[in-house]
Amino acid sequence: MENYKLSRRALLKGAAAMVAMSAVQGFPAEIFAGERMARFPEKTDLLLLTARPPQLETPMSYFKEMITPNEALFVRWHISQIPTSVDLNSWRLKIGGNTERELSLSMDDLRKFEKVVYTAVIQCSGNSRSFFSPRVFGGQWKNGAMGNVTWAGARLKDVLDRAGLKAGSVDIAFNGLDYPPLASVPDLVKSLPVDKALESDIIIAYEMNGKPLPMLNGFPARLVVPGWYATYWVKSLSDITVLSKPFDGFWVKTAYRIPDTPCGCIEPGSAPAKTIPINRMTTRSLIVAPEGGSSVKAGAPVSITGIAFSGGYSISEVVVSTDGGRNWGQAALGKDMGKYSWIQWSYPWRPEKPGKYILMAKATNSIGESQPFEGLWNLAGYLWNKVEKNEVIVRQEGA
Amino acid sequence: MKKILSIIIFLLIVTAAAYSMGDEKRIALPNIQTDLAPGAGREKVSTLCNICHSVDYITMQPPGTRQQWAATVKKMIKVFGAPISEADAEVITNYLSEHYGPAK
């Protein structure tokens, strides 16, 4: 309630600013259905988590579509000095370190490499963090820190081959144009082990759904590591450095780590014995319609629909329950757009009796990875993939 | 001939202008403010936390115990180098656990 009040005040303050800001296509926050919404440049109305640096969440309604539009894709920056202008005449992607030669690539140079195109889910490590129990500090995302996008760009391996990795290369570090507000704040630099970085599916993407990237999603180019959490998908990429010793930067060595246990989870409230850098995404499914809390008519056919994806392996099965998990049936899977994309699924349902129904969906991928019925826990709030429950009311026919 | 030449030059200029416009992207971020709960320490919290991030980083969190807020303030100082004195850290921790803690 208190938060809602705060947001209302923000709205009033924002109304005055909106007049002033409209010329530069940035709109302050406003309240919509109890949520704080904001429209940032090149983006549509998104759920506002934080303003500076911006963290914006995609409303669930967009997940009814196979492809998430560029203007609706979530936004997540870590440090406040984010790029707000890039001139391609001067922007260069520099590659160096433990390499035969140093490269300084313009966008035209990057576009001359073979163009690789595929559809892949991008998902924040902390997506759905607000559902953790006990709750944890961090960005309080619901399910909207994800999207399914068709990416196009140059293969990272091709670029690294052009530079020529010298013997003894261990890690590859990626830096973007964002920088910290104080010298003491660690710059957002991420790294991948060399073997991972040389996988042929990793690209330096300069297009999202056939268009240049929005500034807030990493214009002019970002790393795409399909199947892995978005923490590695460094935005507004500027420097790639090949290292002959392990990368020891804060955002890999200290942050974005998960317990080194088979589930990446531990007993709530406990501390992990050992941690490793977060990597591949867990398997998930979401019911998109009917929405939780909605109502449908008794005796009328309803199509339960949703999406499912996993960390780089195709979804082989989605099962659906309409009675809280007692009975399960196979959902029909939609068009397969590759192992990195989400897949749409549907399940026909005709509830005869009025009452309260619990809808559930559970996905399994081609190597048998699935979803837990209880939320797994870790202190950072990562890897969420619990089987969700959508409560739906079935009304008397004609009511 | 002269006419054709001037048309060509004109087209070249227009194309060049459009090209360079397409090459540069510039956005202006909206200025969104979030109000903090009134109470002792609010000004300090607003001034010091805002150096690095907007205060919706505070208001979006689940209710935090004093221990959780103390650990967060300590992390900001020790890990991120926030220029917050020990005395101010105490004021900020008190404020956060008072206004953004579990319901009493």
Secondary structure of A52-114 in HEC code, one letter for each residue:
CCCEEECCHHHHHCCCCCHHHCCEECCCCECCCEEECCCCCEEEEECECCCEEECHHHHHHCC
pLDDT band at A35 (very low <50, low <70, confident <90, very high): confident
What is the pLDDT at residue B3?
Answer: 64
How far off is chain B from A70, nearest CA to CA, in Å?
16
pLDDT band at B63 (very low <50, low <70, confident <90, very high): very high
In a mutational test of the B interface, the residue from A50, A188, A215 whose CB has the highest number of chain B CBs within 10 Å is: A50
Q: Identify the residue with better confidence: A214 or A17.
A: A214
Given an 8 Å threshold on Cβ–Cβ distance, is A84 in contact with B28? yes
How far off is chain B from A120, nearest CA to CA, in Å?
25
Q: Is the dihedral of CA A153, A154, A157, A160 positive or negative?
A: negative
A12 contacts chain B (CB < 8 A): no
A44 contacts chain B (CB < 8 A): no
Helices (H), chain A: 2-21, 107-112, 156-163, 194-197, 250-253
Query: Is the Cβ–Cβ distance between A389 and A359 less than 8 Å?
Result: yes
The Cα–Cα gap between B63 and B60 comes to 9
Question: Which residues of chain B does A35 touch, with a Cβ-Cβ cutoff of 8 Å?
Answer: none
Q: In what order do the strands lie in the sheet with A189-193?
A: A103-105, A93-97, A237-243, A171-176, A189-193
The Cα–Cα gap between A281 and A128 comes to 13
Nearest C-alpha in A relative to B50:
A52
pLDDT tens digits, one per residue of A195-207: 999 999 999 999 9
Give the mean model confidence (pLDDT) for residues A59-68.
97
Give the mean model confidence (pLDDT) for residues A63-85.
98
The Cα–Cα gap between A203 and A6 comes to 42
The Cα–Cα gap between A127 and A141 comes to 6
Helices (H), chain B: 2-23, 42-49, 56-59, 66-78, 86-99
How far off is chain A from B96, nearest CA to CA, in Å?
13
Query: Is the Cβ–Cβ distance between A14 and A32 less than 8 Å?
Result: no
Helices (H), A97-211: 107-112, 156-163, 194-197
Pairing mode, strands A275-277 and A257-259: antiparallel
Helices (H), A276-384: none
What the block records as the tokens of B72 is 């967060």
Residue B21 has pLDDT above 50, yes or no: yes
In a mutational test of the B interface, the residue from A52, A129, A215 whose CB has the highest number of chain B CBs within 10 Å is: A52
What is the pLDDT at residue A3?
Answer: 35
What the block records as the tokens of A143 is 């399910």
Residue A157 has pLDDT above 50, yes or no: yes
Given an 8 Å threshold on Cβ–Cβ distance, is A212 in contact with B35? no
Q: What's at A75, amino acid-wise? A: V
Question: Which residues of chain B does A212 touch, with a Cβ-Cβ cutoff of 8 Å?
Answer: 25
Give the mean model confidence (pLDDT) for residues A298-310.
97
A16 contacts chain B (CB < 8 A): no
Given an 8 Å threshold on Cβ–Cβ distance, is B53 in contact with A80? yes
Give the mean model confidence (pLDDT) for residues A91-114.
98
Furthest-apart CA atoms within chain B: distance in Å: 87
The size of chain B, in residues, is 104
Considering chain A, what is the average pLDDT of its residues? 92
What is the pLDDT at residue A399?
Answer: 55
Nearest C-alpha in B relative to A131:
B62
Which range has the worst mean pLDDT, A31-35, B61-65, B82-86, B87-91?
A31-35
Given an 8 Å threshold on Cβ–Cβ distance, is B37 in contact with A2? yes
Residue A178 has pLDDT above 80, yes or no: yes
Model confidence, pTM: 0.90
Given an 8 Å threshold on Cβ–Cβ distance, is A85 in contact with B68? no
How far off is chain A from B52, nearest CA to CA, in Å?
6
